[in-house]
Amino acid sequence: MTLYFEPFDLRLNHAFGISGHTRTSTPLVLTRIEHEGYTGFGEASMPPYLGENHDSAQRFLAKVDLSEFRAPAVREDIQPVMQYVDGLAPGNTAAKAAIDIALHDLLGKLTGEPCYRLFGVNPDIMPPTSFTIGIDTPEMIRKKVKEAAPFRVIKVKLGSDHDREIIEAIRAETAVPLSVDANQGWKDRDQAMEMSHWLSERKVLFIEQPMPKEDVEGNAWLRAGSPLPVIADEACQRLQDVERAAGVYDGINIKLMKCTGLDEASRMIARARQLNLKILIGCMTETSCAVMAAAALAPLCDWADLDGPWLVANDPWQTPHLEEGRIRLEEGRPGLGLIPRQKT
């Protein structure tokens, strides 16, 4: 197997605000792994606050030599490759995911199976995907709620000084269920508890990362009294973090870019179920490639937040099909089922 990679700038439809940051594009590195005429595609998406970038990912990927590994024939063949990749250097989780995703796409193509079937997933129980609205002015928020019409859940970024105004601006336009992501923006536990009660009366499904991840005690205290489930995102990156989330959070947000890809994500799902944790599967701003990889596991999760392709302007792949707000897993296409977008 031979690995190729190239940098790519993914442009966002709107400047995207979360608690503490705003940006207009996201650096990606696109990967492909080739074997005997078959090609698996992958991607690293690297929002700047996570510490990876074009240079770091390319430096990491240049170290990866897949020539000694045989091409995967079953899913278990990917594990030793990913163990080798993970052992090359700490961190670099998005660059690692770019290899894992390409390996799964390749395996699907080599076996003629769609990726979701490699995980034994039932595509008919796909949770609806939320559409994310960043921190913005009430006027822009109203505009974005209109863009969110094909989606059945809206995810709202909070953690600013006008959280209630944002929720009220959305609630004036739509009655769809909301999920809330504070991105560690609530610094005070009493304020967080008050917000949870206030939000629970406004058809909110859960709260993601309400307080700083370092405040384990505060998050556990909130969880114990919160009427809404409290979900770990920044506090849960990889498999070993799942254990730590139990007792502090009601659930975890799994993202391929945090956990090095589908191989580890599938093990996080299994462990989270043993620990009775709820599971959200999320994404960064990323193309249909990484999102279809995550979608292959989404039927194993309680909620999905896989709106990347709908937030970006230059996805090299055709946008996935939505049915009643759910991403459709395509039965007839092997691997991730990606179709290149025609250049216009």
By beta-carbon proximity to Mg ion, the closer residue of 294 and 336 is 294
Range in contact with Mg ion (rule: CB under 5 A) among 31-39, 136-144, 205-213, 293-301: 205-213
233 binds Mg ion (CB under 5 A): yes
Query: Is position 181 an interface residue for Mg ion (rule: CB under 5 A)?
Result: yes
Q: Strands 21-35, 2-18: parallel, antiparallel or unpaired by DSSP?
A: antiparallel
Q: Is 307 in the site for Mg ion (CB under 5 A)?
A: no
Separation CA 142–CA 174 (nearest Å): 10
Interacting span for Mg ion (CB under 5 A) from 6-14, 77-85, 178-186, 193-201: 178-186
**CA–CA gap between residue 281 and residue 298 (Å, rounded):** 6
As measured in angstroms, the least distance from the Cβ of 231 to Mg ion is 8
Q: For residue 174, which of 206, 144, 136, 129 has the smallest C-alpha distance?
A: 144
CB of 119 to Mg ion, least distance (A): 23
Helix (H, G, I), strand (E, B) or coil at 41: strand
User: Stretches 2-10, 78-86, 136-144, 231-239: which one binds Mg ion (CB under 5 A)?
Assistant: 231-239
Q: Give 228: exposed, middle or buried? Use CB within 10 Å, 0-12, 13-18, 19+.
A: buried
Q: Distance between CA 160 and CA 31 in Å, rounded?
A: 36
User: Which among 83-91, 150-158, 193-201, 228-236 is the span making contact with Mg ion, rule CB under 5 A?
Assistant: 228-236
User: Hey, which residues between 239 and 278 contact Mg ion (CB under 5 A)?
Assistant: none
Closer to Mg ion by Cβ: residue 40 or 159:
159
* H helical segments located in 72-137: 78-88, 93-111, 115-118
Cβ distance to Mg ion smaller for residue 22 or 83: 22
Q: In angstroms, rounded to a whole number, what is the distance separating the alpha carbons of residues 221 and 1? A: 49
Return the residue of 105, 208, 264, 307 that touches Mg ion, per CB under 5 A.
208
Residue placing its CB nearer to Mg ion in the complex, 237 or 266: 237
Q: Contact at 8 Å (CB) between 248 and 239?
A: no
Least Å from the CB of residue 341 to Mg ion: 27
The size of the interface with Mg ion (CB under 5 A), counted in residues, is 3
C-alpha radius of gyration, the chain, whole number: 19
Structure tokens at 337: 């089922």
Binding site for Mg ion (CB under 5 A): 181, 208, 233
